[in-house]
Amino acid sequence: MLIAPESTAKRVKKAFKYQFVAIASILLFSSFSSIRGQAKSVAKSNSQEQTCKVVAKVLSGDINWAPGSKLCQEDKVHPVNGHKVEVLCYLSAKILQLTSSTMGEHCSPRSQRQNQNCTLRDGRTCIKPKGPGEDENAPTLITPYGLVILNMSPTLSWSATPLATSYIVQIEGKGVSWSVEVVEKTQLPYPKEQPAMQPGNVYNVNIIANKADEPIAASASVVLIASTDKMQQIVSIINRLQSLNQSQDELTIDIDRVYEAQNLVNESINLLKARTEGGTKNPTIYRLLGDRYLEAYLASAAISAYSTATKLAQKENNAEELAKAEAGAKIAEQSQKRGEGVRGS
């Protein structure tokens, strides 16, 4: 790896400036998206499970609901005298302290809340990896997935550019400014000798494809490192979920909900991929992975995940997951035909 010439960095910096400001502005002022619930399986009949949408999980303190019980919008909590019920609201990824009340007063389904998320999964986009008029051969950033991340020193990867012999990777932002050349590869572990990105800050990631010594294509992306408070909040919630002694699949699904509520697509994908590599046969895990790939504009990877989810759902006669996987696959296939979400995986 070699340090990129300063002249090359300067040539692309001006070209990327306007795009970086525009994307960063949208990112900083957009609201985090909420998630879709799943059918409740605690103290509900089969017919009720098909229509009930889970919005929260009991952590402690209810007379009727055991820790780990899933709560739907119409469910009521009843605290032990003089205490409050602790519940995790999936929509906000916050632990709530509640007196006697109905969950719909605190956590309502996505359809009843304003949804400002713009992804392939929702059939629309706000920030496209490659917009009209952009070079289709540009080395588009793949990982970290999404825009908001927890990892301050992530591995960077990008799509290959035909005829490129090397790539220059640059990261600029508060406390960070470095440029590294990568030869004949499309991945770069975050350099150990460089300072990590800092919580709560936006960073510009530029990737320049070179043929010999001449740049032939380039792209600009941004990542936002979650704030320290947000990181601490998430760690605290995950610790509480782990204390419930749930199955590994159930814990994974719960943590994914927490990540999704905070728009942490990168963490969700890595979490779900690890569970699939661990040998799970749960169709929900694969279907959620497909959903997250759509949020990361990776239609091809989403189709693969949905395909596995479909097979597993059929095998266990899970009609609900089968319908969700088939619907997701249709969106991914349509996006791929339109040329959206074709960055690779």
- The answer to whether residues 273 and 151 belong to one domain is no
Question: 253 lies in a domain?
Answer: yes
Q: Using an 8 Å Cβ cutoff, are 306 and 287 in contact?
A: yes
- The answer to whether residues 248 and 332 belong to one domain is yes
Domain end (from 225, 241, 263) = 225
- The answer to whether residues 204 and 274 belong to one domain is no
Q: pLDDT digit string (tens) for 33-63?
A: 333 333 333 444 434 444 678 899 999 999 9
178 has pLDDT over 70: yes
Q: Using an 8 Å Cβ cutoff, are 280 and 247 in contact?
A: no
Question: 15 lies in a domain?
Answer: yes
Domain end (from 202, 225, 248) = 225
Three-state secondary-structure class, residue 245: coil
Question: 61 lies in a domain?
Answer: no
How many Å apart are CA 116 and CA 214, to the nearest integer?
41
- The answer to whether residues 241 and 272 belong to one domain is yes
More confident residue, 41 or 258: 258
- The answer to whether residues 258 and 300 belong to one domain is yes
Question: 92 lies in a domain?
Answer: no
- Structure-block tokens of residue 183: 């030869």
103 has pLDDT over 50: yes
- The answer to whether residues 241 and 191 belong to one domain is no
Question: 119 lies in a domain?
Answer: no
Question: 13 lies in a domain?
Answer: yes
From 154, 169, 157, 155, select the one nearest 3 (Cα to Cα).
169
Arithmetic mean of pLDDT over the chain: 82
- The answer to whether residues 260 and 301 belong to one domain is yes
pLDDT at residue number 4: 43
- Structure-block tokens of residue 59: 């952590």
Spell out a b/e string for 29-39, using b for 16 or more CB atoms within 10 Å of the CB, else e.
Answer: eeebbbbbbbb
- The answer to whether residues 188 and 213 belong to one domain is yes
From 105, 63, 106, 115, select the one nearest 88 (Cα to Cα).
106
3 has pLDDT over 90: no
For the full predicted model, state whether its pTM sits above 0.85: no
> What is the extent of the structural domain holding 295?
228-337
Q: What is the CATH number of the domain that holds 202?
A: 2.60.40.10
Q: pLDDT digit string (tens) for 11-25?
A: 444 444 433 333 333
Q: Using an 8 Å Cβ cutoff, are 302 and 328 in contact?
A: yes
- The answer to whether residues 321 and 277 belong to one domain is yes
Check the CA dihedral 336-341-344-345 and report its sign: negative
- The answer to whether residues 139 and 204 belong to one domain is yes
- The answer to whether residues 246 and 202 belong to one domain is no
Number of domains in the chain: 2
Lowest mean pLDDT among 119-123, 188-192, 263-267, 302-306: 119-123
Q: Using an 8 Å Cβ cutoff, are 289 and 312 in contact?
A: no
- Structure-block tokens of residue 10: 């300067």
Domain end (from 225, 248, 280) = 225
- The answer to whether residues 255 and 320 belong to one domain is yes
Question: 75 lies in a domain?
Answer: no
Q: What is the CATH number of the domain that holds 328?
A: 1.25.40.10
117 has pLDDT over 60: no
How many Å apart are CA 41 and CA 269, to the nearest integer?
25
- Structure-block tokens of residue 199: 């919580």
